Chain A
């Protein structure tokens, strides 16, 4: 490794300078890393940009993740508290299957709302049964007491097969479900 200045030095010194100018022995990958850091220093931070389709896809993934988490959270709660003639006593542990059904032959949309789904009309839609007259849904609930009602085409309706609750705080009474263990 020489340059023009070396020509003006005495020969013994020139050799010493050359020796000093050589890089110390280091691993090749370390040197490459150092050189890469040096050569990229001062550059603006790297920006990540997504094309519109990828941005939409990422948004959908996030929304699905959020929705999935919300579903799981609701299911967990449903899985946590109810008396009913419809309790399946064959279930063993804490979660017991409970089948709700209501006759509404002319309804277009039926769901169930209650303590077990935070009175959310969208989480437990009921399905029309084969006979076309009744609507059904099965949920798994832990032992406990629950207030609920059917939402038939937007109107709250009591379950004729269940006891009524006392809470008429909001102008519409509720049915009561007790789920108990064995």
Chain B
């Protein structure tokens, strides 16, 4: 290449460099959580929390998403840090209960269940119920459990119902039906717990008509 040719290309190279920089900046910005308004010390704290989770082998995307959620909802720095720290701990507890090879979606659902008041022992039992359910079925069961608790069904009976359904190999559709039915009952003014018992019994009867009457009832603290 002659120097003249190089000179002719020089302005184009500068333009390409500028475009590349802009593109890279755009990509980085899109991947980073929108935490511009957080203080530098909060940035540092959050980065350390995420690094710690990464070192521990935990998924970090839920933590980054939590920061973005807090930022959008206008939470202050302290609240965001507290939420991220809590989530990191719950992800770690969920993995300790379910094992290191747990599916990420199940891990997220399990962490959410712990947040709702479910115990690690409950998680372990549900993960073994019905001969260890498929990850998608277990995740759906846990999501349903959290939804029931959010609708003011007490944790203990909600956990027992979900575990019983998992033991009978309930499908994702059946969990969704249970959730919708209980929701409608509550809107109609029925007691959340009574609605859960009635609806769960109906589901169990549909799944296994012969065994419903002899199904054992464990206390929630059973390991």
A171 contacts partner chain B, Cβ-Cβ < 8 Å: yes
How close is A79's CB to chain B, nearest CB, in angstroms? Answer: 13
Interface segment out of the listed B1-9, B191-199, B207-215:
B1-9
Of A70, A81, A82, A164, the contact of B61 (CB 8 Å cutoff): A81
Residue in B79, B112, B140 whose CB lies within 8 Å of A166: B112
- Residue in A closest to B71 when the chains form the complex, CB atoms: A119
Q: Does B101 contact A (CB under 8 A)?
A: no
Within 8 A of A (CB), among B21-58: 21-27, 29-31, 33-34
Question: What are the residues of chain A within 8 A of B3 when measuring CB–CB?
Answer: 33, 36-37
CB pair B23–A66 under 8 Å, yes or no, is yes
Also in contact, A58 and B18, with CB within 8 A (given A145-B108, A176-B143)? yes
Q: How far is the CA of A78 from the CA of B58 in the complex (A)?
A: 20
**Is the pair A83, B26 in contact by a Cβ cutoff of 8 Å?**
no
Residues on B with C-beta less than 8 A from A139 are none
Q: Is the CB of B147 within 8 A of A176?
A: yes
**Count of chain B residues with a beta carbon within 8 Å of a chain A beta carbon:** 62
Interface 0/1 of A25-62, CB less than 8 Å to B: 00000000100110000000010100000000010011
B129 interface contact, C-beta 8 A: no
Closest-CB distance, B178 to chain A (whole angstroms)? 11
* Interface segment out of the listed B62-70, B92-100, B120-128, B160-168: B62-70
B26 near A173 (CB under 8 angstroms)? Answer: no
Does A69 touch B at the CB level, under 8 Å? yes
Question: What are the residues of chain A within 8 A of B86 when measuring CB–CB?
Answer: 169
- Contact indicator A65/B70 (Cβ below 8 Å): no
The closest CB in chain A to the CB of B83 belongs to: A169
Interface string of B80-106 (1 = CB under 8 A from A): 101100110000000000000000110
B15: Cβ under 8 A from any A Cβ: yes
* Given A166-B115, A180-B136: A144 and B104 interface contact (C-beta under 8 Å): yes
A6 to B69, CA, bound (A): 90
Q: Report A-chain residues with C-beta under 8 Å of the C-beta of B80.
A: 170
- Measured in the bound complex, the distance between the Cα atoms of B150 and A165 in whole Å is 7
C-alpha gap A131/B140 in the complex (Å) = 32
A14–B212 alpha-carbon span in the complex (Å): 125
Interface string of A70-89 (1 = CB under 8 A from B): 11111001000111010000
> Which residues of B lie under 8 Å from residue A105 when comparing CB positions?
none
B residues near A (Cβ < 8 Å) are 2-4, 7, 10-11, 14-15, 18-19, 21-27, 29-31, 33-34, 61-62, 64-66, 68-75, 79-80, 82-83, 86-87, 104-105, 108-109, 112-113, 115-116, 136, 139-140, 143-144, 146-147, 149-151, 172, 176, 179
Other A-B contacts than A119-B69, A176-B146, 18 sampled, CB-CB below 8 A, are A36-B4, A58-B18, A62-B18, A63-B22, A65-B22, A72-B27, A77-B31, A115-B61, A115-B65, A118-B68, A119-B65, A145-B104, A145-B109, A165-B112, A166-B146, A171-B75, A174-B69, A178-B105
Contact sample, A vs B, 13 pairs, CB 8 Å cutoff:
A68-B23, A119-B34, A119-B72, A120-B34, A145-B109, A147-B65, A164-B150, A167-B112, A169-B82, A170-B74, A170-B83, A176-B147, A181-B136
